[in-house]
Amino acid sequence: MTLRADHVAGAFFVGFGLLVLALSTDLPTGSLSLPGSGFLPKIVAFLTIFFGAVLALRAGESRPFAAVSWDDVKHAAMVIGITAAAVALFEKLGFLTTNILLIFALLVAIERRRLLPAAAFSIGVVAVTYVLFVYVLKTPLQTGPLGF
Amino acid sequence: MESTLLSLAHGFSVALAPANVWYAFLGCLVGTLVGVLPGIGPLAGISILLPVTFGLNATQAIIMLAGIYYGSQYGGSTTSILMRIPGEASSVMTCIDGYAMAKKGRAGAALCIAAVGSWIGGTFGVLVLTVVAPPLATIALRFGPPEYTALLVLGLIFLAYMSSSSLIRTLLMACLGLLLGMIGIDNMTGHFRYSFDLAELGDGIGIVPVAVGLFGLGEILSTPSASAVKDIISPRMRDLLPTRTEWKQASMPIARGTLLGFIIGIIPGSAHIISSFLSYAVERRVSKHPEEFGKGAVAGVAGPETANNAASTGAFVPLLALGIPTSPITAVLIGALMIHGVSVGPTLVNDHPDVFWGFVASMYVGNLMLLVLNLPLVGLFVTVLRIPYAYLYPLIIMFCIIGVYEVNNSIVDVWIMLIMGVVGYALRKFDFDPAPLVLGLVIAPILEQSLRQSLIMSNGNYLIFFSRPISLALMIFSIGLLVLAAYSFILKRADWRTKLAEVEAGETET
């Protein structure tokens, strides 16, 4: 049997529904006349399992899992990695420093742009955005250890 | 009627205040850019720019954000006609004949017809909204928990029935959204649910990090810069006015698109996308020359473009009258108003007349602005398209982070956005449309509360939903839709989704 995209997706949703049910064991279901906090989550988890199973059972209509294109996964992983690093640093370094580093890293590491134009672009757009938010729109942005 | 006109006059006095005109203009301009740029849809655009409205009052905020919404419908046509790339999902149909017209040297005429059709569709929508929303809000005041439950159930079923992906996929996305919407403190018992000892999750997961992650970051992850297209047809300004024959060919499709779009807009689901597809299908069916479709038929541009703008306005009827979001975009708008201390629902028209009528009047102003803005400035928007994507997406990521962080000053929200970006990327790989997930997330608290209140009211008797006239009517409608959906599902009949998928596949191949 060919493994199809909907087999994988359906199995994921069945697993996810089961996980929600497992996490809901301490939530009271209550009764019909007085539903508890676990009442609707459990119903929706069962529906997720049901629909996931239907998706997997009708997977014959979907394309083979091997045909799902993952050409862009390297790009996606690098963007996620660099953005995650920026998020981790955001409250420590503040808006200006973090975003200059974020844009510079994306341009140099992923887009292979030359260092000087990348640096000029990063500093320029982040500075303009800072002025726009802080002075024009009066929306304060996260400050770093140096006060900006 | 007289009181409606008086209220509308008051609305114009609010909307025409210089500051409000400025924010309507800003919203329309940004919206057009959002529509023009592939990769940023109106949902991500509105979510990212939400913090920009924090310094504004509620009226200015909703005027600007709504401007982004309907502005994006106008802007989406530009890339469809000039580049054969739908800047926005609802512009897919415009690509076919719009680009064919552009190749024949009629790009200017296609843009003009799209802009005029959008204006007529949008303005008609606002006219009906003006008349229909206040009385509908009065009726909605009679709604109790069973009616709200029935209405939300109908909304979910309608969404599944009308969504652009398959029924099961839509229901799965809605379930996922509902489950995410149940994270946090249970309002009725005080239980913490699925919060994993994170205090920030006590209030639940916000719509902004989810929407920005799924639609903003998720789109960027799926779009490597090498795949960005640069082939653009530049229209000549002297060719901007359509000929008399083209106007004649466009008139009836515009009229039909207006009616069709508005009616579909009121119905829950991705109305602006569905309306443009249905309008195209209707035009091809009623045309005396269906063979011209795909080769530059004026009706293929006029109908869908008019319909998607009329639908965008129609979507505001249930939002303003009932407080019910019928699409993820209107859900974000509800969130925006709540941030500004305005609760949306049947009482909005009486509690905040400035917001309600100022917003309605601003849509007349905004639609006129877009007509003036889109045609002369088309060259400027085309120039924006020439910015290399490699420089554009780092900026979008920066705005995603600012947008999400500024709502609650919470870094947890930014992490949620990042996770949702990965989820959005994975969902695209497996052909899931993330829009129902966002809608499920938004309606989860309302649905849960009204369902539980209804059951408590009836001492656990489910028949309460069938014993009150309004909820009975809504439930019968829901059951009817389920039967229709099951009929197509079991017989595997090709419905409009299949046909849309075929059209989109054809677009990709060419």
Token pair 């996606």 in the structure block, residue:
A76
Residue of B nearest to A52 (CA): B172
Which chain A residues contact residue B191 at CB under 8 A?
Answer: 27-28, 36-37
Determine, for residues A102 and B460 on separate chains, whether the beta-carbon distance falls below 8 Å: no
Question: In this complex, do A52 and B430 lie within 8 Å of one another by their Cβ atoms?
Answer: no
Report whether pLDDT(B154) > 90: no
Report which of B110, B87, B89 is spatially closest to residue B99, judged by C-alpha positions.
B110
Residue in chain B lying closest to A16 (CA): B176
Pick B415's closest partner by Cβ from A6, A62, A87. Answer: A87
- Predicted local confidence at residue B492, as pLDDT: 59
At residue A146, the pLDDT reads: 74
Question: Are the C-beta atoms of B80 and B98 separated by less than 8 Å?
Answer: yes
Reply yes or no on whether the pLDDT at A29 is more than 70: yes
Q: Write phi, then psi, for A45 (nearest 5 degrees).
A: -65, -40
* A102, pLDDT greater than 70: yes
List the structure tokens of B288: 């005396």
pLDDT at B455: 94
Q: In a mutagenesis test of the B interface, which of A111, A114, A133, A142 is the best target, namely the one with the most B β-carbons within 10 Å?
A: A111
Report the chain A residue with the minimal C-alpha distance to residue B448.
Answer: A40
pTM of the model: 0.80
Tell me what pLDDT residue B320 has: 78
Spatial separation of the C-alpha atoms in residues B139 and B132, rounded to whole Å: 11
Q: Token pair of B14, please?
A: 């609010």
What is the distance between the alpha carbons of residues B29 and B64, in angstroms, rounded to a whole number? 10
pLDDT at B234: 66
Whether the per-residue pLDDT at B506 is higher than 60: the answer is: no
What per-residue confidence (pLDDT) applies to A85? 96
Percent of chain B with pLDDT over 70: 88
Angle (CA) B292 B297 B298, round 5°: 155
- Total domain count, chain B: 1
More confidently predicted of B21 and B132: B21
Q: Which amino acid is at B94?
A: T
Q: Which of B172, B189, B390 sits opposite A48 (nearest CB)?
A: B172
Chain A residues with CB under 8 Å of B179 CB are 20, 41, 44-45, 48
pLDDT band at B381 (very low <50, low <70, confident <90, very high): confident
| Segment B63-83, tens digit of pLDDT | 888 888 878 877 778 877 877
Give the C-alpha separation, B356 to B73, whole Å: 22
Report, as an integer, the average pLDDT of B40-50. 78
Quick check: A107 and B451 CB within 8 A? no
pLDDT of B446 over the 80 cut: yes
Closest CA to B52 of A47, A132, A17, A105: A132
Q: Where is pLDDT greater, at B210 or A136?
A: B210
Residues B399-430 have pLDDT tens digits of 888 888 887 888 999 999 999 999 999 998 99
For B117, the token pair is 């059709």
More confident residue, B140 or B23: B23
- Chain B positions touching A108 (Cβ under 8 A) are none
Nearest to B356 by CA among B383, B320, B388, B327: B320
Q: Can you list the positions of beta strands (E) in B387-494?
A: none
Interface of A with B in 53-72 (CB under 8 A): 54-55, 58, 62, 68-72
pLDDT of residue B508: 46
Q: Classify B358 as helix, strand or coil.
A: helix
**Residue B10: pLDDT above 60?**
yes
Q: Which of residues 122-141 of A touch B (CB under 8 A)?
A: 122, 125-126, 129, 133, 137-139, 141
Mean pLDDT in chain B?
82
Domain boundaries, chain A: 5-67, 73-136
Does the distance separating the beta carbons of B393 and A90 come in below 8 Å?
no
User: Which residue of chain B comes nearest to A129, CA vs CA?
Assistant: B399
Span of A38-42, A75-79, A127-131, B291-295 with lowest mean pLDDT: B291-295
**Do A79 and B398 count as a contact with CB atoms less than 8 A apart?**
no
Residue whose C-alpha is closest to residue A139's, from B502, B26, B426, B51: B51
Task: Please choose, from the candidates B39, B122, B20, B129, the residue with its C-alpha nearest in 3D space to the C-alpha of residue B74.
Answer: B122
Does the structure show a pLDDT above 50 at B510?
A: no
Chain centre to alpha carbon of residue B5: 28
Whether the Cβ atoms of residue B349 and residue B4 lie closer than 8 Å to each other: no
Q: Are residues A37 and B55, on separate chains, in Cβ contact within 8 Å?
A: no
Which residues have C-beta within 8 Å of that of residue B42, sequence separation ≥ 6?
B31, B34, B35, B68, B69, B72, B73, B88, B329
Prediction ipTM score = 0.94
Q: Count of CB contacts below 8 A, A vs B?
A: 157
Answer whether B37's CB lies under 8 Å from B87's CB: yes
Would you place residue B155 in the very low, low, confident or very high pLDDT band (cuts 50, 70, 90)? confident
Neighbours of B480 (CB within 10 A): 11
Q: Where in the sequence is the domain holding B280, given as residue range(s)? A: 2-509
pLDDT digits (tens, 9 = 90+) for B157-172: 877 776 656 788 888 9
Alpha-carbon distance of B508 to A36, in angstroms, equals 49
**CB-based contact B464:B454 (threshold 8 Å):** yes
Query: What gap in Å lies between CA B219 and CA B421, rounded to an integer?
Result: 8
Mutate to test the interface with A, among B49, B156, B159, B168 (most CBs of A within 10 A): B168
Yes or no, beta carbons of B221 and A103 under 8 Å apart? no
